[in-house]
Amino acid sequence: MNELIGRVFDFEKQVFPVQAELFAKLTTDGQSPKALMISCADSRVVPEQIMQAQPGDLFVCRNAGNIVPPFATMNGGVSSTVEYAVMALGVRDIIVCGHSDCGAMKGLTTPEALEKMPNVAAWLRHSKAADEVVRQGYPGLKDGERVRALSMENVVAQIAHLRTHPSVAAGLARGEISLHGWFVDIHAGQVLGLDGQTGRFMPLRADQELPVAVPAAQRLASDVSFLQAAE
Ligand code: ZN
């Protein structure tokens, strides 16, 4: 038997008993995860490990390229997961997490490699904006550096897509939701965070303020109360 598949027997006998109390509480009270993470499906990026999350802590959606299709373009797993996390679970922090050496981003730069993978090619169209930003904004980059830049710009693009989802847009307007863009460098073991103020990624440091892509701040475009106050 595949050695990995065989490890499933350990869950019942060894893993679950240690956390039986936690699972009992989660079963009785239901789940109330503290964040939604949308990460790449890459086996080297493990959201629960990065967050040191226990069962019940983290709502996770994974796919090739940590992509969030814009709301109107398709009704699929990512859209439903985002909507459920925000509307049903009340999640207030959403993290889009890309990473170094991403196969999906490599595919985006070499479309000929995707000729026999029409679904992947179609899926990666949701990252075309990032691809174009890199083509025009980083003309000198090659290979690994290009993939790295593309992975970061892809996080920016997917955060923009997230904002097209009604549940997220309304949560942002209420000032109750924050959007985070992270990049995991799997070579250096380092996590970078997108700072919405500067538009750049920076290392996450415990002794510094956490960079946030879109901070929670109430925003109502038609709020004219400040004009009336000035009159
Ligand atoms: Zn990836």
Q: What is the DSSP string of 124-177?
A: GGGGHHHHHHHHHH-TT--HHHHHHHHHHHHHHHHHHHHTTSHHHHHHHHHT--
pLDDT for the residue numbered 87: 98
**Ligand 1 midpoint to CA 87 (Å):** 28
pLDDT for the residue numbered 220: 83
Q: In the β-sheet with 58-63, what is the strand arrangement from edge to edge?
A: 58-63, 35-40, 93-99, 178-185, 190-195, 200-203
Task: Find how far residue 226's CA is from the centre of its chain.
Answer: 35
H helices present in the chain, as ranges: 3-6, 8-10, 16-18, 20-29, 47-50, 77-83, 103-109, 118-123, 128-137, 143-162, 166-174, 225-230
Q: At residue 200, what is the residue type?
A: R
Task: Find how far residue 18's CA is from the centre of its chain.
Answer: 30
CATH number of 31-55+66-209: 3.40.1050.10
pTM of the complete model beyond 0.85? yes
pLDDT for the residue numbered 229: 67
**Ligand 1 midpoint to CA 220 (Å):** 36
pLDDT for the residue numbered 221: 84
Distance CA 221, CA 123 (A): 33
CATH 3.40.1050.10 region(s) of the chain?
A: 31-55+66-209
pLDDT for the residue numbered 224: 77
**Ligand 1 midpoint to CA 42 (Å):** 5
**Ligand 1 midpoint to CA 63 (Å):** 8
Classify residue 12 as exposed, middle or buried by CB count within 10 Å of its CB (0-12, 13-18, 19+): exposed
pLDDT for the residue numbered 11: 93
Residue appearing with tokens 């439903």: 80
pLDDT for the residue numbered 139: 92
**Ligand 1 midpoint to CA 225 (Å):** 46
Neighbours of 112 (CB within 10 A): 6
pLDDT for the residue numbered 226: 67
pLDDT for the residue numbered 125: 96
Q: Give SS3 for 1.
A: coil
Residue length of the chain:
231
**Ligand 1 midpoint to CA 7 (Å):** 25
**Ligand 1 midpoint to CA 180 (Å):** 17
Distance CA 65, CA 98 (A): 7
Of all helices (H) and strands (E), which one includes residue 98?
A: strand 93-99
pLDDT one digit per residue (tens) for the chain, 231 residues: 789 998 999 999 999 999 999 999 999 999 999 999 999 999 999 999 999 999 999 999 999 999 999 998 778 899 999 999 999 999 999 999 999 999 999 999 998 999 999 999 999 999 999 999 999 999 999 889 999 999 999 999 999 999 999 999 999 999 999 999 999 999 999 999 999 999 999 999 999 999 999 999 888 888 877 666 666
Residue appearing with tokens 């985002």: 82
**Ligand 1 midpoint to CA 101 (Å):** 7
**Ligand 1 midpoint to CA 77 (Å):** 18
**Ligand 1 midpoint to CA 145 (Å):** 15
**Ligand 1 midpoint to CA 176 (Å):** 29
